Structures are given as structure tokens and as C-alpha cells.
Amino acid sequence: MIQIAIGPVLFDWGRSALKAFYRRMAHETPADILYLGEVICSKRQGLSLEDVAELAREIKPTGKELVLSTLGLVMSDAEQEDLHRLKDLAIALDLKIEANDMAGIGAAEGHRLVAGPHVNVYNPQTLDFLQEVGVERMVFPVELPESSIRGIVSAPRAHPVAFELFAHGKLPLTFSARCYTARAFKLSKANCQYKCGDFPDGMVTRTQEGEGLLTMNGIQTMSEKVHTLIADVPRLAPLGIDIVRISPQSQHMNDIIAIWRQTLDGELAPEEALTRLQRCNNDEPFCNGYFHGQPGMAFHRA
Amino acid sequence: MKKVEVLAPAGNLPSLRAAVDNGADAVYFGFRDATNARNFEGLNFSESEAAQGIAHARGHGVKANVVLNTFPQVGNPEPWYHAVDVAANLKADAIILANAAMLKYCHERHPQLPIHLSVQASASNAEAIRFYKRHFNIARVILPRVLTAPEIRRLHDKLEDVELEVFAFGGLCVMAEGRCHLSSFVTGVSPNIEGVCSPARAVRFENLNGKLRTRLGGALIAEYQEGEDAAYPTICKGRFEANDRVYHVMEEPGSLNILEILPQVIESGVASLKIEGRQRTKSYVATVTKTLRQAVDSYYEDPSAYRVKPAWVRTLNATSEGTTHTLGTYEESWQ
């Protein structure tokens, strides 16, 4: 049975909202795995290591797995020190680490690792190597088409590995040294005034024709449209996908996860699920092109 | 301290010769297929051209580095393994690799061939670079364009056994290289998979009542008034609407040019100054190589007297997209 993972929160919700979110996801949803940790910006005042330890203790009795996610673009000394503290905590709590930069793999080498979507695994040979350094699960880069995913999943390998697919949410497209949210306010990253906190689902960016194109989320650029593979659910199990990732958004998460669970269980037809998810998306269009070998912003109708 | 190297791009043999003639210490080029990230039609080297290029460079005391900086495709990794073997057989001075599987193969199969970690590997910190050193004994890392000059210096102080190469001039990637899906999001073509960013076949220019509009994959990238210079449309240099304003949300079109802070960059301990632009013309390669050569030589003649000469700026401005220049991320205020 395909499991559901809730990806790390990519937005700057702040400490109390994050704690409330994880408690809700743990106690009120059928999600199996919760990823937790700041992936975007080390300036954000999210959860402390103590908060993480507290949440881990609380979540443990629910039977859900907690995974600690690392920063996506590591630059400063302080950020590298944070990686080691996160690794120590993961070891103390017996949790996996999702590495989102080779620094995360390097810092936690030999520990139980998930290669996150920001670690470039484009072929089975790379995964073979990463398994040697501790990777037990990988999340496919979002731009990989189904054909490449099949090639990686079906390659013979000495030890099993779990495959996770980014299946629902705004697509994480890239990182920069520059903060685009600060730039939108004519501020620099050093003096950002924590503007990301005002955008719980990122800052929508449109073309001059009004077409929603991108979402600015600090140093990260995401898609404006929400990507969903709900219509492709019947293909996922035969493809060898073990886990689908739902990326957190500020609204409707309980409903989205329930719809996904019912669809994965065959209780809800994918077309009906798509209609229901549409309602959780203010009736805005979705995208799913990457999986079908098309531009990521396209929507392929089955 | 060892003198910093001027490293020039070569999209073909004439450009390679131009680089050599104009004072490059080293050149870099790729093979004519998807194994490198400037996989444009009519560009790059066949195996015999590579052999000629390496011989020509070596005859003039210039090093030749072979680029193999995309990720092998699922089900068809052979061209990448083959390219590593060819570079080793041709005795290239170094091979530039981005992918862990290729790094492992090269390190095990050709331990005598120095490995430079491609910018596409996006190793932006000591922890990641040490990881690559530990497993593949990389000799050099090409730093992604995300670090400030002081950060590069600190990195150098921490990594005595790995050389640092930085971009000095050319098209500016605003994003962490190797970790950008903007091109594939809009066009379906990925720098990581196909070695191409924003392919020409996805570009449209439209004329509407005297205004020029540029599109990529159908998306409107920018609109220009009459007489305004239009830049090649890429998402990262597009003019979009965000926060109730229309502006270059990510970056203005323009080129990286570090001449203004050359002493600071050299003194941060970098081994090599790289010129971007394997897709550019022979005359671009000649002009930029010659100018950077003059600037570097002028620095070493008397570091404290180094000043950017107006002639250098005029010459370089004539080669670049639009005419604006930026220090990019080397200056913290850019971020």
C-alpha cells in the first residue's frame, strides 16, 4: 500500500503555527510520514531543536514516522553547524534525515538518510552510490518524467530502497542566493524584515498578461500552480512508488490528505478526487506536466 | 602565492585558438552531445577535434579541461562513460564532472585524471566539497554563483587541498546551478537532463503595435518599448508582476563582471578565474580573454595600484547582453 508523506513546510509560518500544524497532521490525518525542518532559509524563526524533540515525543505514540529535513542551499558556517546539530538530534531520537544538499549527505554520512528532492538523483548509478553512504529512501527530482522514474525504480540493486514521489503541492523549482521576497519590497536578504512571514503560501508572480507563473518563497522559486498527480494514482503502484509526498499549504490540508488516502485505497475514483481537490484549490487550475514528459506547468488530461 | 589562472571557454577549435592567442592559461570545452551543459547545435567538439584542441593548447603551454557536466540519462548512460574514457585517453589536463556516478567511475577507472567538480554539482559549502573530496578525490571545485567574496575566502581557508574556481565574466546564472528547473518548467527542456537552458525553439518574438514581446514556452517574458534592447528570454531575467509591481522579479538582464573587485577575488585564494560562454563567438572569446589577461597582469605588476581601466570596461561592455554589468552575488548587497 502506498504511504502518504507530508513534506517539510516550505513557507515561513512561524513557531506556533508550525507546532499546531504538526499536531493536527499527526492526530487528525491518515498521513504515515511527517517531514519536519527548515529547508528554505536559516533566518526564519521556525521550530527550535527542543521543539522538534518535543514534537517527536508527542508524535511517536501515533505510529507516524518523523523525518528531519535539512536546509536546501547551505552556505554559511552557522548553517553547516546546524546540520551537525540536526544530525545529532536525529541519532538521539532514532529518526531519519532528509538531506536536501550534498552537505546534508556529507554531514550525516552513514546515518539513515533520505535523499530529498533537491539532491540530484537522475539515474540508477547515482542512487547506487548514495546507498553506499546511507540513503534508504529517495524523493525524485520534480522534473523527472515517468519514463525516467521507471528506469530508476526498475534497475537491479543490491539493497532495497524506498521511492517517494512529489505528488501534490506547489513545485519547488530552484534556489538562489538572492531573496526574492525581500527584493519585492526593495530590501536585501540581510535586512529582509522577515517578509516571508506575510505570505503563508508564497508570493504569486504573474506574467504581464496576468497568467500565474511562479511563486516567490524567499530564496526559493516555486510554481504558481499546484502540481497534482491524483489523476495518475492508478499508475503509481505499478510504477513501484512506495510513498507519495503532499507538500504543505496553509489551507485544506486535512481534506487534501483524506482525498489522497481514499483515492490510493481505491475508494474514490481519480476523476472524482480531482474534482474534490479542485475545490481545495479555489477552483484554480493544476499542473502535472513533468510526470508526463511535458513542461512542468502544463496539465495533461488522461 | 601561485598566480591565478585565466580560464577561457571554447565552443569550437577557432575559439580555442583565439583563447590561446589572447593569453588564456587554460581552456575548457565539451563534446558534441548531451554530456555537457552547452549542448547547442553547431557547437562543441568531436573526438578528433578534441585531440587537436588539446594538442594545440599544450603546444602553447595552455591547459585543456574537458567538460562533462550533465547527468547521465536513465537507460542511456553510455555516452557519459565513453566521454570520460575519451578525455582520459586524450590526456586532458582535467575533467569537469557534476554527477556522483560519473565521479565514482572516473575516480576508480582513471585515478590519474584530475577531477574538477562542476558548478552543476552546486557544492556551495565546505561540508559538501569535503564529501566530494573524500569519495572522489576532486582536485578543484567550481563554485556556484551563490557566495560572496568574503565567503569564498573563508572557504579557501578551510579547504587547503581543493582548488577553487570562480566565474569572473559572462552570462550570470541567478540560481544555484544544477538545481534549477525553471527551463524545464516552461519549455520541457532541462539543463540537467538535456544540457540546454531555454532552448531557441521555445522562444518567440512578437511585434505588437511597435512593442516587442518575448515569449518562452508560450509564457510572456518581457515587453519592450520601441528602441529598447531586447534580451534573450529566460525565466530568471523576465519582467513579471509580483507584489503589485511589474519588474525584473529575479534579475535584470546583464553580465557578470568582477574586474572592479578583482584584487579581492584573487586575494580570497581562488586558483582560477573562469570566463563563461562556450556558446559565444570566437571574437567574444578573444576580447574577453585578452581583457581579463590584461587586468590580471596589471594586478600582479602592482596589486596596490590596480585600477579598472576605462578601455577594459568599454571593450567588455561591447561584448555583453544589453550593456549592464553586475558583480552579482560576490557583493552581499546583491542578495
For the domain that residue B259 is a member of, what is the CATH number?
Answer: 3.20.20.70
CA pair distance B184, B196, nearest whole angstrom: 9
Specify whether the CB–CB gap between B300 and B307 falls below 8 A.
no
Q: Given its phi and psi angles, is residue A202 left (phi above 0), alpha (psi -120 to 50 degrees) or beta?
A: left
Across the interface, of B101, B184, B219, the residue whose CB is closest to A213 is B219
Task: Reply yes or no on whether the pLDDT at B323 is more than 70.
Answer: no
B47 within a domain of the structure (yes/no):
yes
Q: Measured between CB atoms, does A289 come within 8 Å of chain B? A: yes
A21 within a domain of the structure (yes/no):
yes
Note the ipTM here. Answer: 0.97
A216 within a domain of the structure (yes/no):
no
B177 within a domain of the structure (yes/no):
no
Mutate to test the interface with A, among B180, B243, B256 (most CBs of A within 10 A): B243
Residues of chain A neighbouring B75 (CB-CB closer than 8 A):
151
Distances (CA, A) of B41 to A113, B12, B31, B32, B201: 40, 12, 12, 8, 11
Task: Reply yes or no on whether the pLDDT at A288 is more than 90.
Answer: yes
Under DSSP, is residue A185 helix (H, G, I), strand (E, B) or coil?
Answer: coil
Q: Measured between CB atoms, does B151 come within 8 Å of chain A? A: yes
Tell me, yes or no, whether B55 and B153 share the same domain. yes
CA pair distance B96, A179, nearest whole angstrom: 29
Model confidence band, residue B317 (pLDDT cutoffs 50, 70, 90): confident
B258 within a domain of the structure (yes/no):
yes
- pLDDT digits 0-9 by tens, A71-102: 999 999 999 999 999 999 999 999 999 999 99
Tell me, yes or no, whether B188 and B205 share the same domain. yes
| C-alpha cell, A125 | 548509478
Model confidence band, residue B145 (pLDDT cutoffs 50, 70, 90): confident
Q: Is B154 within 8 Å of A77 when comparing Cβ atoms?
A: yes
- pLDDT digits 0-9 by tens, A9-32: 999 999 999 999 999 999 999 999
How many other β-carbons are positioned within 10 Å of the β-carbon of residue A301? 7
- Mean pLDDT across chain B, nearest whole number? 93
For residue B200, the enclosing domain spans 182-248
B73 vs A164: which has the higher pLDDT:
A164
Strands B239-242 and B245-248: antiparallel
Under DSSP, is residue B312 helix (H, G, I), strand (E, B) or coil?
Answer: helix
Last residue of a domain, one of B228, B248, B268: B248
Tell me, yes or no, whether B196 and B310 share the same domain. no
pLDDT of residue A64: 98
Q: What is the DSSP string of A251-291?
A: S-HHHHHHHHHHHHTTSS-HHHHHHHHHHTTTTPPEE-GGG
Tell me, yes or no, whether B162 and B73 share the same domain. yes
Task: Reply yes or no on whether the pLDDT at A200 is more than 70.
Answer: yes
Round the CA-based radius of gyration of chain A to a whole number and report it. 18
Total domains in chain B come to 2
Q: Measured between CB atoms, does A145 come within 8 Å of chain B? A: no
For residue A42, the enclosing domain spans 3-171+224-292
Across the interface, of B135, B220, B240, the residue whose CB is closest to A205 is B240
Q: Which of A177-181, A229-233, B224-228 shows the lowest per-residue confidence on average (mean pLDDT)?
A: B224-228
Tell me, yes or no, whether B258 and B233 share the same domain. no
How many other β-carbons are positioned within 10 Å of the β-carbon of residue A49? 15
Chain B residues 105-144 with a CB less than 8 Å from chain A? 105, 121-128, 130-132, 134-135
Residues of chain B neighbouring A297 (CB-CB closer than 8 A):
185-186, 217, 219
In terms of CA atoms, which chain A residue is nearest residue B179? A174
B76 vs A267: which has the higher pLDDT:
A267
Task: Reply yes or no on whether the pLDDT at B261 is more than 80.
Answer: yes
Specify whether the CB–CB gap between A86 and A70 falls below 8 A.
yes
- For chain B, give the number of residues: 335
Across the interface, of A75, A205, A209, the residue whose CB is closest to B125 is A75
Distance from CA of B116 to the nearest CA of A (A): 16
A183 within a domain of the structure (yes/no):
no
Tell me, yes or no, whether B141 and B281 share the same domain. yes
Total domains in chain A come to 1
Model confidence band, residue B335 (pLDDT cutoffs 50, 70, 90): confident
Q: Is A141 within 8 Å of B192 when comparing Cβ atoms?
A: yes
B2 vs A61: which has the higher pLDDT:
A61
Place of cell 576605462: B310
Specify whether the CB–CB gap between B192 and B177 falls below 8 A.
no
Taking the CA atoms of residue B93, residue B97, residue B332 and residue A12 in that order, the dihedral angle to the nearest 10 degrees is: -170
Task: Reply yes or no on whether the pLDDT at B322 is more than 60.
Answer: no
DSSP bridge partners of B223: B213
Q: Measured between CB atoms, does B146 come within 8 Å of chain A? A: yes
